[in-house]
Structure 1
Amino acid sequence: MNHVLVVDDSTTMRRMVMASLRGLPDVSFQEAANGLEAIERLAISTVNIMVLDLNMPDMHGLEVVAFVRKHATFRDIPIIVLTTRGDDESRTLAIAAGASLYLTKPFDPAVLAERAGRLLNLDVH
C-alpha cells in the first residue's frame, strides 16, 4: 500500500490532490491542515510520500521539509511541494531544504500523478 500524506490548509486543495492521485496503484490517503498536523501524522502512521503546501498556519511548509530531512525515520520520504509560489527564490529554498519536487498551483493532475508515481517507483503511464 502506498500511503500519501496531503498537507494543505485548504480542504478543497487536499481533495483535488487526492482526486489526482487516486489512479495510482494501491494508494491510501491521510490529510493534514497544517505543518504541525503533518508532523503528528508522520509520528503515528506510515507515510510513503508527502504532497505539501508552503503557506500554512502554525508551521510553514519549509519547516516541515527541514524537520523531515533531519529525522532518520522520515528522511527518505519523497516530498512534493505544491504551492502558489512560483518565484525562483521559493523554489530554490524548497529544493535546498530537501523537497524532492516543486510544482506550482494551479497544477495539472496528470503531471502530479505521473511525478508522484515516479517518486514511488510505480509503473505509471
Structure 2
Amino acid sequence: MFMPEVLVVDDSKVMRDMVVACLRPLTGLGFTHASSGLEAIERLSLKPYDLIVLDLNMPDIGGIEVVEFVRGQDTLRHLPIVMVTTRGDEASRTKALAAGADRFMTKPFTPAALLAEVQGLLTGGRG
C-alpha cells in the first residue's frame, strides 16, 4: 500500500511538530523531520519523498538553496515544495517561487490552510 512521505524541514522542533499536527487529518501520511537544510539534502539523497514542507530561514543551508538543489536533480525535479516562513515580504515570496517552490505560506498560518495546500499538491494540483 502506498503511503505518501512528507519531509518537514525547520530548525525549530516546535514548528516541525506543529506542521505534522496540522497534517494529521490526512491519514496515511508518513513524516520525516530535518532540522536544517543540510540534513534535508542528506535525507533526500537516502530515500524518496512525496512532498517537502520547508522553512525559508535556517542556520546552515537556507530554504532557497534547498529548493534550488531539489530542482537541479533529475530524480527530484518534480517534488512538490511548500515554503513556510515568517518573512511575508513580496521579495521573499518572489524569490522562493522563482527558485521553484510550489507554494509560499507565511507563519503563522492556519492548520486548515496548510492542510489544503498539502492535500492539493499530493493529489497533483501543482501550479
Q: Normalized against structure 2, the TM-score is what?
A: 0.94
Q: Distance in 1 between matches of 2:89 and 2:9?
A: 21
Q: Which amino acid aligns with 2:6?
A: V
1:18 to 12, 17, 20: 20
Structure 2 partner of 1:89: 91
**Identical columns (%):** 55
Structure 2 partner of 1:75: 77
Say yes or no: does 1:102 pair with 2:104.
yes
What SS does the aligned partner of 1:114 have? helix
Q: Distance in 2 between matches of 1:19 and 1:45?
A: 23
Q: How many residues get paired?
A: 122
What SS does the aligned partner of 1:72 have? coil
* Deviations, residues 69-106 of structure 1 (Å, cap 9, x unaligned): 01011111000000000000000000000000000000
Structure 2 partner of 1:54: 56
What SS does the aligned partner of 1:119 have? helix
Structure 1 stretches of 4+ moved >4 Å: none
* Deviations, residues 31-76 of structure 1 (Å, cap 9, x unaligned): 0001000001101112000000011011011000000001011111
* Deviations, residues 4-53 of structure 1 (Å, cap 9, x unaligned): 00000000000000000111131000000010000011011120000000
Q: Distance in 2 between matches of 1:3 and 1:22?
A: 12
Gaps of 5+ in 2: none
Q: Distance in 1 between matches of 2:75 and 2:27?
A: 24
Q: Which amino acid aligns with 1:64?
A: V
What SS does the aligned partner of 1:71 have? coil
1:37 to 29, 36, 39: 39
Q: Normalized against structure 1, the TM-score is what?
A: 0.95
